């Protein structure tokens, strides 16, 4: 369990970040700050809050929306108008928060803006968690993936991706995967550490195992080692490593 998980149980966890963070809507700068705060509203990842003085407040219009948080209090909402676009209720402010540090900060809904940058690198999906680390290691261990008794992958050239808070993921070269047994889907997900993933489903007999495998065709630089490799949810398949069947982990991806 991460330190932030423990802190989240009792209070809103807040940290400073030294990164310069910028956000754009319609190509127009809306926020530019080197004094942002990372605020863990849930234990999975943080949100960015910015000092009011670092926000282009002339682009904000208050709305009648007010939301309540047991930890943070009442938030008034603002619509962002910039670059010919509008993002309704895209900014929140907890002016009377019981957490004093939040009162002079503004929170942006990540999806309200078109583009986010940490320093000069574009960031996707959500702010990066400083407590999340990714390690990708090559392995010569024998990896075999079965679904309902059918072998879908068999390799001694896999790579293991270790990501904080998740079970190890075993990425296999496509030449060692029965791609002819997989059906591509329209599903796509994004990760701020790995990039955008494409998915496949696995029909076995009368059963369809939806979106059970994925691959990052062009991952972000820190995850280049898994480019083009295929990974299966070890929560939903039989994964054998050196002949031993691994226990299926229980995560939010279990079905």
CATH number assigned to the domain comprising residue 26: 2.170.150.40
pLDDT, tens digit, for every residue of 147-169? 999 999 999 999 999 999 899 99
- For residues 230 and 213, the answer to whether their CB atoms sit within 8 Å is yes
Q: Is the pLDDT of residue 112 over 50?
A: yes
Quote the pLDDT of residue 12: 78
Q: Which of 101, 123, 145 is the last residue of a domain?
A: 123
Sorting pLDDT into bands at 50, 70 and 90, what band is 39? very high
Q: Strands 85-93, 195-204: parallel, antiparallel or unpaired by DSSP?
A: unpaired
Quote the pLDDT of residue 148: 96
> Are 102 and 29 part of one and the same domain?
yes
> Are 144 and 218 part of one and the same domain?
yes
Sorting pLDDT into bands at 50, 70 and 90, what band is 44? confident
Question: 4 or 169: whose pLDDT is higher?
Answer: 169
Rounded-to-integer distance, Cα 146 and Cα 59, Å: 54
> Are 89 and 142 part of one and the same domain?
no
Q: Which of 86, 102, 123 is the last residue of a domain?
A: 123
Quote the pLDDT of residue 18: 87
C-alpha radius of gyration, the chain, whole number? 21
> Are 177 and 210 part of one and the same domain?
yes
Owning domain of residue 67:
3-123
Sign (positive or negative) of CA dihedral 229, 235, 236, 241: positive
- Residue 9 φ/ψ, nearest 5 degrees: -60, -35
Predicted TM-score of the model (pTM): 0.81
Rounded-to-integer distance, Cα 98 and Cα 77, Å: 18
Sorting pLDDT into bands at 50, 70 and 90, what band is 10? very low
Q: Has residue 71 been placed in a domain?
A: yes
Quote the pLDDT of residue 11: 63
Q: Has residue 253 been placed in a domain?
A: no
Q: Is the pLDDT of residue 211 over 80?
A: yes
pLDDT, tens digit, for every residue of 122-156? 999 999 999 999 999 999 999 999 999 999 999 99
């Amino acid at each position: 369990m991460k330190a932030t998980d423990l802190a989240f149980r009792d209070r809103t966890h807040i940290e400073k970040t030294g990164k310069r963070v910028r956000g754009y809507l319609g190509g127009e700068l809306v926020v530019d700050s080197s004094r942002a705060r990372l605020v863990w509203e849930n234990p999975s990842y943080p949100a960015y809050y910015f000092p009011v003085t670092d926000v282009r407040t002339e682009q904000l219009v208050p709305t009648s929306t007010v939301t309540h948080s047991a930890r943070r209090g009442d938030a008034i909402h603002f619509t962002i108008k910039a670059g010919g676009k509008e993002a309704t209720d895209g900014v929140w402010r907890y002016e009377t928060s019981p957490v004093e540090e939040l009162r002079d900060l503004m929170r942006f809904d990540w999806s309200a803006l078109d583009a986010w940058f940490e320093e000069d690198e574009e960031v996707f999906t959500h702010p990066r968690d400083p407590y999340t680390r990714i390690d990708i290691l090559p392995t010569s261990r024998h990896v075999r993936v079965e679904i309902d008794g059918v072998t879908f992958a068999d390799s001694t050239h896999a790579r293991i991706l270790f990501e904080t808070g998740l079970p190890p993921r075993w990425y296999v070269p496509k030449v060692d995967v029965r791609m002819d047994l997989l059906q591509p889907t329209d599903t796509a997900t994004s990760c701020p550490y790995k990039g955008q993933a494409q998915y496949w489903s696995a029909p076995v007999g009368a059963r369809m195992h939806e979106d059970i495998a994925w691959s990052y065709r062009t991952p972000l630089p820190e995850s280049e080692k898994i480019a083009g490799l295929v990974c299966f949810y070890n929560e939903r398949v039989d994964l054998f490593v050196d002949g031993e069947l691994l226990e299926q982990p229980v995560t939010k991806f279990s079905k």
